Amino acid sequence: MTVGAWLRSRTPPPPPAMLAGVIDALGERAALGAHAAPTACLDAAVALLGALLREDSLGRERASELLVADALVTYAFEAAATSASDLDEFAATVMTRLAGLSSGEADGPDA
């Protein structure tokens, strides 16, 4: 199962537009094995938020993209809760990566 297939299997299913936004933000990461979902979703959220911050564009017109980023972080935790050996360590990684966005120090793929 791929990350994309894993996302499509979630219940309740996300609204179609939200799922499309999440899959779009994942890009090639959607084809990774489902075991990569925590990191793939986090990387996509960081990349999306980083792009929005670099554009200095966080107004209402970008609300749907902010919701996609929120969904990606939520899915990252959902996947990690069932597959990560150390959820506390993953949570610390998430917080560090997201906090790094405010200072322009985001790390990771496409960030």
Q: pLDDT tens across 3-30, in order?
A: 999 999 999 999 999 999 999 999 999 9
Which residues does residue 24 pair with via DSSP β-bridges, in sequence order?
Answer: none
Q: Is the pLDDT of residue 36 over 60?
A: yes
Contact 28, 90 (CB under 8 A): no
How is residue 57 written in tokens? 């564009």
Which residues does residue 87 pair with via DSSP β-bridges, in sequence order?
Answer: none
The whole model's pTM is what?
0.87
Question: What gap in Å lies between CA 47 and CA 38, rounded to an integer?
Answer: 14
